[in-house]
Amino acid sequence: MYGVREWWRDMAGELAGLVLPADCAGCGLPRTGLCARCAGLLRDACTAVRRVRPHPPPRGLPAVYAALPYADEVRAVLLAHKERGALRLAAPLGSVLAASVRAVADAAAEKAAGPGPGTGPAAADAEPLLLVPVPSARRAVALRGHDPVRRVALAAAGELRRGGRPARVLAVLRQRRPVADQAGLTARQRAANLAGALEVPAGAGRLAAEGPVVVVDDLVTTGASLAEAARALSGAGGRVVGAAVVAAAAGR
Alpha carbon of 162 to those of 90, 134, 156, 166, 219: distances in Å?
Answer: 16, 24, 10, 9, 24
Quote the pLDDT of residue 29: 63
**17: confidence class by pLDDT, cuts 50, 70, 90:** very low
pLDDT per position as a tens digit, 32-70: 578 888 888 898 988 889 999 998 899 999 999 999 999
Beta bridge partners of 30: 23
* Mean local confidence (pLDDT), 9-30: 55
Quote the pLDDT of residue 4: 42
Average pLDDT, the chain: 83
Please tell me whether the overall predicted TM-score, pTM, comes out greater than 0.85 for this model: no
Output 127 or 129, whichever has higher pLDDT.
129
Percentage with pLDDT > 70 across the chain? 76
